[in-house]
Structures are given as structure tokens and as C-alpha cells.
Chains A and B, each alone.
Chain A
Amino acid sequence: MTSLWRQAFDAVERPLATAAESWVQSKTFMDLAAVTIRVQRRLRADGQRMTEQWLHAWGMPAHGDLFTLMNQVASLERQVRDLERELQPRNARPPAAHLGPPAPQPPREA
């Protein structure tokens, strides 16, 4: 049996949930959310740029420098992966026997 407090909660929550779910699917909400995300991103970038300039003026590293380094290391890691792929013997693919019948070959010329 559902308790009274739960019935009361459901009576309030259900219509609210329905309204909130249709509100987030509305064009108005999506437009607002998109603008908010873009403005937040812009403000964050501007704030970060100003902080970076200030820190760099004092010869100190900034958050952005950390990302630059991280991305450089990531780029190196990708290059190492590519090299590994090139050096790897071709045994990572399914063996030919597992790949079904071979593609038909064109007839040999006499």
C-alpha cells in the first residue's frame, strides 16, 4: 500500500514532471540552452585568456599551457600508436580461413 506522503508527493510531482519534460523539448528552452552554453563557453575562454596573459606577464605557467602540453603528449602517443600499427605483424585481423570464401578472381589470360 502506498503511504500518504508518497501519494501526496506523486500528486505534485507527476504534473510537474510532465510540464518540465515538455518544456525541455520546446524550441524556446532549446534556444535558451544553446545560447547559455555558447555564452558560458565564450566567457570561460575570455576569462582564461585574461588570466593567462596576467600569469604570463609574471612569467608563470597557466592552465592553458597545461592543455597545450597534454595535447602535445597526446599527439606523440598517437604517433607511437601509428608506428606500432605499422610494425605489428598482420596477425590482429581474422585469419583468412575465418573470412569466408575469397573474392572471385578474374580469369587468367592465356
Chain B
Amino acid sequence: MPDLVARQMLRARNGLGCLTGANRPAVAQTPRDLVWKRDKARLWRYRSGQRRYRPPVLIVHSLVSKSYVLDLLPNTSLVRYLTGEGFDVFLLEWMPPDPADAENTLETYVDDYIPAAIGALLGDVGAREVTLIGYCFGGILTLLVAAGHPELPIRNMMVMATPCDYREMGFMSSMFAEARLDADDVIDQTGLVPARALDEGFQTLKPTDLLVQRVNLFENLWNNEFVEGFLAINQWARDQVPFPGGAFRQTVSLLIRQNALLAGVIPLGHREARLKDIRCPFLNAFAEQDGITPAASSEPLTRLVGSEDASELRLRSGHIGFVAGRQAARIARPQIADWIRRHSDEG
């Protein structure tokens, strides 16, 4: 730890940097190549000279945030870690939607974008199967894809911080579950749920959080590593994206009001997706202190899928404990890599 004078100097320098925005950290640094795109969907493949395991790993990102949380900083990047462990890592991300995407429904992602991206991935690497990972709302999309498309060659599946029981989702869910608000009360004239509405909703969950974060920053302002990590996470947390109105209406009616994921049967287009039809090895990873997707909401998924090999990874951290912080480095990332390795082939 630096001495008092050096610490005050660092504090002053970092403080000025924060105020002027000069020390904004560079995120998403892992080199990658665009493999496929359609509308706002982008499929990236991370460069690696040491791909040792098959099948390739496809991470499907959430619709409510930006995907750079998975590649936040070089020392906390989940994709960099997995790539370094010898996996062939792909990321399916969604560019922020605009009015042309306002009518996108869950089926748009489940029946169109994700199967097409899997097809492009398999074609790109000449693989026959894929390990599918979904993060947050991306987990819901992957569950629906796996349940609704048994023909897709999904060898293994993992969901991280993925909601299931919407009764446990707290304030934001209760506002819609008990009909205080309808979906159209928050959808704007462009047909999207504005990013600001989502940000305000998340902030309301922990009213004093913003103040505590500022105090934490002030206390650790001398610590370059802390400041860099703080700014990166804070930048991501405030960097919400709009949500397509069509998918939001379904989220309210199917997932929140009918709690269809907990029922295990989700109406999808003209059919029903049944979680019991997911028979591949399954890992349900969730965090005990997650304020956005509480553990109680994620927990039931493990018993709802039809896999004989279904297990859970419980972390003692918050929503981003999979990707940042000590829990991510010591527990989450190694255990995730170990699970995928045990369900993959070498060579």
C-alpha cells in the first residue's frame, strides 16, 4: 500500500480523471472477428491460437444490457478466460434496437436469429454440435431455443443469472404482475421500452446503491486497480439498452403474469416450448446476492429441465459475480470452465 502522501497524490490524479472522464477504461479488448450478422444480431468469434476443446461455445447475451460485461477488462474478462482455457468461444450479441426492431417478439430471437447464428457458427468451424450459454435474459432465450428446437445440435447448455420464477423478481416484476402497470405504460412512441426506464427500474431496487458506490469510489480513489474496475462496471451498469416492445409485451404476459417458465411450458408462436424437452447436460449458475435476478428466481430451473445431468453452481456474489470481482476469478470462471471441459472432447 502506498504511503499517505503518495496515496493523496493518486487520489487527486484519479479524482480528476473521474471528474473529467479521462480515465474511462477501455472495455471489450479481446480480439474477435465478425462471423455473421442479421439485422441487429452479431455473431463474433474470439481469436485464439490454442483451441483444444470441442464443441465450440456460444454465449448468447441478454436483451437488456450490453455484452461487453462478458469482456469487461483483460484481467476480468470471461470470454478471454474461456479462450485462454482452450475453448473456441463465440458471442451472439444484439446491437441496441431502434424502431425497426420494436415489433421483435421472443420468436424473432428464438426461431430466427439464434438458430440462424448456430447454423452460421457450425458452418464457420465445421462443427456438428455446440455448447450453448445464456447470460441473464439471454438465458431465457437459450432455454426457449433448446426447448423449442430439439432438432438443433446443442450438446451442453448453461444459463447464468437467468430468471425463472418471476414472483421472486421483486419490484420491477411486481409492478406488472399485479396489473399496476401494463406493458404499454412503459413502451414509448417508437415502440421500445426506453433504456432510461430500465435504468430507473434497476436503480429503484437498491435506492442507496448509487450513493454507496460513490463513497466506495472515494474511499478507494488511490487504488488504480479498484478505480479501473469500478469505472468499467459502473459504465456498463448505466449503459442500458432499449427493449423491443413486442418482446416486452410477451415478457409481461407470459413470463411475469403467467409465470410460464416456472410452469415449464411456454407458448411460443403456434406451439409450446417445454423445459422438460431440454435433455442435454445442463448447468444453472446463479448468485446468492443477486439483486436483479434473485437466487430464488433462478433456482427452480435445475429441476424444471428434463436433463438427467442437471446441476447448479451457486455463487456468493451479485449479478455480475460471474464476470467481475474476486468470486468471478476464484470460483465462477474456473468452475464454469471445468464444467464445460468435462462435457467437451479434447482435440
Q: Which residues of chain A have a CB within 8 Å of any CB of chain B?
A: 3, 6, 9, 13, 16-17, 20-21, 24-25, 30-31, 33-34, 37-38, 41, 64, 67, 70-71, 73-74, 77-78, 81, 91-95, 97-100
Contacts and interface: CB of A to CB of B under 8 A. Distances in A.
B219 A24 contact: no
B215 interface: yes
Nearest to B208: A17
Interface in B196-247: 204-209, 211-212, 215, 219
Contacts of B102: 74
A86 to B, nearest CB: 13
B123 A95 contact: yes
Interface residues of B, number: 41
A98 B127 CA distance: 8
A16 B190 CA distance: 38
Given A16-B208, A33-B180, 18 more contacts: A17-B207, A17-B208, A31-B180, A34-B180, A37-B181, A41-B185, A64-B189, A71-B190, A74-B98, A74-B100, A74-B190, A78-B100, A78-B103, A91-B119, A92-B116, A93-B115, A93-B119, A94-B123
A24 B207 contact: yes
Contacts of A13: 208, 211-212, 215
Given A30-B174, A81-B39, A94-B119, A100 B151 contact: yes
Contacts of A38: 181, 185
Ranked nearest first, the 9 interchain pairs of A and B with the lowest CB-CB distance are A74-B99, A34-B180, A77-B100, A94-B119, A20-B207, A92-B116, A74-B100, A67-B189, A17-B208
Nearest to A103: B151
Contacts of A81: 39, 100
Contact of A3 (B129, B175, B205, B219): B219
Given A20-B208, A24-B207, A78-B100, A94 B152 contact: yes
Interface string B243-281: 000000000000000000000000000000000000000
B99 A37 contact: no
17 contacts: A17-B207, A24-B204, A25-B170, A41-B185, A71-B190, A73-B100, A74-B191, A81-B39, A91-B123, A92-B38, A92-B116, A92-B119, A94-B118, A94-B123, A98-B119, A99-B151, A99-B153
B146 to A, nearest CB: 13
B114 to A, nearest CB: 11
A24 B205 contact: yes
Contact of A37 (B98, B152, B186, B189): B186
B207 A97 contact: no
Contacts of B38: 92
B208 A37 contact: no
Contacts of A34: 175, 180-181, 185
B39 to A, nearest CB: 6
B66 interface: no
B122 interface: yes
Contacts of B39: 81
A99 B153 CA distance: 6
Contacts of A17: 206-209, 212
A21 B207 contact: yes
Interface in B157-190: 170-171, 174-175, 178, 180-181, 185-186, 189-190
